[in-house]
Amino acid sequence: MRSLRVVPAVLRIQCQGRRGAGHGSEGAASLGTGTASYSISAQGREAVTNGRHQQHTDQDLSANGMLPRLSDLLFYTIAEGQECISVHKFTSALQGTGLWTSDPRLRDCMHLLQKAAQEPSTGGMLNRDLFRRCVSSNIVLLTQAFRKKFVIPDFQEFTAHMEQIFEKTKKLQGGKVANYIPQLAKCNPDIWGVSLCTVDGQRYSMGHTKTPFCLQSCVKPLKYAVTVSELGTDRVHQYVGKEPSGLRYDKLSLNEEGIPHNPMMNAGAIVITSLIKMGSKKAEKFDYCFPRGVDMMAALDLYFQLCSVEVTCESGSVIAATLANGGICPITGECVLSDEAVRNTLSLMHSCGMYDFSGQFAFHVGLPAKSAVSGAILLVVPNVMGVMCLSPPLDKGGNSARGIGFCQELVSLFNFHNYDNLLHCTRKMDPRREGDEVRNKTVVNLLFAAYSGDVSALRRFALSAMDMEQKDYDSRTALHVAAAEGHLEVVKFLVEACRVNPFVKDRWACHANKWAAIGETDMRVSHLFPFWGSGSRTKLEKPTPASFQTT
């Protein structure tokens, strides 16, 4: 069945790298071939593209003389002391930040770079002036990218971990391809693809991400979000509930109020479909839940059309990222869904989006998601990124077996679970922080707690599996600082409870006990002796005088 343009502003991005994305009055690039177009008005929100915003910003910077300085700084950052840089080197560095050369926001810059690369006089090399002319129209976005100011600062490190997760889950066996739909029964069970798109438009793909597939049930969150954006929450939920049903997703059942349980199961999705574009002709004409005069067959026809929208993992990840970004497409910057619609949609995806596995998924993964019998899983990490997985073999619950494994591995490595503690959960990685930033902040907090004698803070750090022997730029540990300040309780806690090594030397080749004997804390030295070990982590005894000698 031919595909239908469900969310035109989301699908306006050219996921296959074609030009013209996000431009024109109608200009919606469908994922597949379109038969109709539904416009979406985000209530109470201004639809403004990143390109327009960036254009105004660049004009302001140019007027203030900031534009040349930013361009020069960017040039010297990439050139690394050379007088010229190649176009290839620049585009490679750009892709390292997560931005694709096909990004519609960079259309002007890429066009000028392409012309420069083809110019015989330049030989594909850019001097400072030529570089400035090429990047000036997109300098704000490019500066953010190279200064690591995106939501995922170290994108290359992050994607390296994603590759490891991808390869690990690729080995998972089990599950069967859905055979009750003839087209799905023909799918290759070895297909495995994952694409991600962050709220800043950083993108990455692994595996079979250009293989087209039908959205099937993954379109249900979009239909619901479109309807809520147009009609409002109260109106929509006169005809469909909000609770998990406890039944199979294809069970045509009603709750005690006589309405479908939620929009994420077939019965609720059919009702939502009938509410799209009330009062219009044929394929858009439903205003209430099958009111008098509504053609039920037309409603079902539209429902199946929407389920048959064809996408790829790459384009699907942008749809997921739009939900993660509060209804604003990260590639075009256009507001396509109201914030109310996105909030409600993510809530229902969290509680009802994974069929009979929804409760387990919410418990173990803790993120909004929607699965489909095509083997797709649309995963949303709110305010961070969207992910689209594709693997046709399904488990007993009707979800992609590899897709479930990928989601579980993702939250086991990164603190993306909704209830992960972002401050004290050091066992998981937080890709939203730069590695040096996390490490430096950890060392500062640890040493400052030792300096101020805050044993309670040190206990919290130890319980969160923090390395209590971390060093600063002078190779001083928390024990050095505590000993120098004469904090007996801190020293006792570090040596007895944490079993830190008391014989670590700083840059001056001094042990912690040497600092205790210096200055105003010398009267406390004798009190520190009982808590010092002899170099062993298991045996604590008073050290010999030779232990105080530095070498």
Please report the pLDDT score of residue 251 as a whole number: 73
Query: Positive or negative CA dihedral for 422, 427, 432, 433?
Result: positive
pLDDT tens figures, 490-531: 888 888 888 888 889 999 888 887 777 664 554 454 455 445
* Averaged pLDDT, 11-20: 35
Q: Can you read off the two tokens belonging to residue 541?
A: 């005894």
For 8-40+167-413, CATH number out of 3.40.710.10, 3.40.50.300, 3.30.365.10, 1.10.10.60 equals 3.40.710.10
Residue in the block written with tokens 């349980």: 261
The model's confidence at residue 66, banded by pLDDT at 50, 70 and 90, is low
More confident residue, 66 or 319: 319
> Cα separations (Å) of 118 from 112, 136, 343?
10, 19, 47
- The pLDDT assigned to 256 comes to 82
- φ, ψ (nearest 5 deg) of residue 520: -75, -5
- Report the interhelical angle of 401-413 vs 155-170 (nearest 10°): 140
Torsion of CA 474, 478, 483, 486, to 10 degrees: 120
Q: Reading across the β-sheet that carries 203-207, which strands appear in turn?
A: 203-207, 193-198, 385-390, 376-381, 369-371
Sign of CA dihedral 488, 458, 435, 54: negative
468 vs 477: CA distance, rounded Å: 8
Residue 473: both structure tokens together: 């730029």
Q: How far apart are CA 367 and CA 417, in angstroms?
A: 6
- On the question of pLDDT at 80 being above 90, the answer is no
In 180-314, beta strands by DSSP E: 193-198, 203-207, 213-214, 310-311
- CA nearest neighbour of 470 among 496, 426, 491, 440: 440
At 235, give phi and psi (nearest 5°): -65, -45
Domain ranges of the chain: 8-40+167-413, 51-146, 435-548
Tens digits of residue pLDDT in 466-491: 889 999 989 999 999 998 888 888 88
Report residue 439's pLDDT band, with 50, 70 and 90 as the boundaries.
Answer: low
Cβ proximity of 174 and 292 under 8 Å: no
Give yes or no for residue 535 having a pLDDT over 70. no
Q: Are 380 and 349 in contact (CB under 8 A)?
A: yes
How much of the chain is helix, strand and coil, in % rounded to 5? 45, 10, 45
- Its pTM stands at 0.68
Bridge partners for 37 per DSSP: 5
Is it the case that residue 21 has pLDDT exceeding 50? no
Pinpoint the alpha helices (H) of 281-334.
Answer: 296-307, 313-324
Residue 115 pLDDT > 60? yes
Other beta carbons within 10 angstroms of residue 496's beta carbon come to: 13
Mean pLDDT computed over 18-29: 32
CA 297 – CA 316 distance, rounded (Å):
28
Pairwise CA distance, residues 458 & 481, whole Å? 13
3-class SS at 416? coil
pLDDT at 68: 63
Contact present, 374 and 89 (Cβ < 8 Å): no
**Residue 247 pLDDT class (50, 70, 90 cuts):** confident
CA distance from start to end of the chain: 80
Q: 402 with 172: CB under 8 angstroms?
A: yes
The three-state (H, E, C) secondary structure of 337-369, written as one string: CCHHHHHHHHHHHHHHCCHHHHHHHHHHCCCCE
* Residue 34 contacts residue 341 (beta carbons within 8 Å): no
User: Does the pLDDT at position 196 exceed 90?
Assistant: yes
Asked if pLDDT for residue 165 goes beyond 90, the answer is yes
In the predicted model, what is the mean pLDDT of residues 314-326? 96
pLDDT in tens, 288-311: 345 455 567 777 788 788 888 889
Average pLDDT over residues 148-157: 91
546 band by pLDDT with thresholds 50, 70 and 90: very low
Q: How far is CA 481 from CA 17, 445, 450, 492, in A?
A: 56, 12, 6, 13
Q: For every residue of 422-462, which 3-state class applies, written as one string?
A: CCCCCCCECCCCCHHHHHHHHHHHHHHHHHHCCHHHHHHHH
Q: What pLDDT is recorded for position 379? A: 97
Instruction: Give the ranges where 171-265 is alpha helix by DSSP (H).
Output: 182-185, 220-231, 233-236
Indicate the average pLDDT of the chain: 78
Cβ pair 270, 300 in contact under 8 A:
yes
Q: How far apart are CA 220 and CA 224, in angstroms?
A: 6
What is the C-alpha separation between 322 and 319, in angstroms, rounded?
Answer: 5
Q: In this prediction, what percent of the chain has a pLDDT beyond 90?
A: 38
Strands 310-311 and 369-371: unpaired
- For domain 435-548, give the CATH superfamily: Ankyrin repeat-containing domain (1.25.40.20)
Is the domain spanning 51-146 CATH 1.10.238.210? The answer is yes
Q: Is the dihedral of CA 23, 24, 25, 28 positive or negative?
A: negative
